[in-house]
Amino acid sequence: MEFKEAVNYRQSIRYFTNQQIAPDDLKEIVQLAQRTSSWANSQPWQVYIATGQTLEKIKNHHLAAAQQGVSGKEDRLNARL
């Protein structure tokens, strides 16, 4: 795929199912993401994968924040879960 096609036909998915992603697929996604370029090869990203009870805690935290009117755009929601 050419870059222009990738930019013009990208999609944002906002509706998700409860279908779990296989651990091997998650591992492959992260490995592919690690191959992307970054400025000066700084690789500033960190990847966290939450499943099970940890994922449920995160969901509940964000639901409670949304119900209290806290914007989902805040990067400062670093409450310990």
Domain boundaries, the chain: 20-37+44-81
Is a pLDDT exceeding 70 seen at residue 79?
no
Is this model's pTM higher than 0.85 or not?
no
Q: Which residue has the tokens 């199912």?
A: 17
- In tens, the pLDDT along 34-72 reads 888 888 888 777 888 998 999 999 999 989 998 998 876
Report the C-alpha gap between 22 and 38 in whole angstroms. 27
Report the C-alpha gap between 26 and 81 in whole angstroms. 23
- What is the rounded (10 degree) CA torsion for 12, 77, 38, 27? -70
Please, are residues 79 and 68 in contact by the beta-carbon 8 Å criterion?
A: no
- In tens, the pLDDT along 2-27 reads 888 888 888 887 788 888 899 999 99
Q: Which residue has the tokens 């509940």?
A: 60
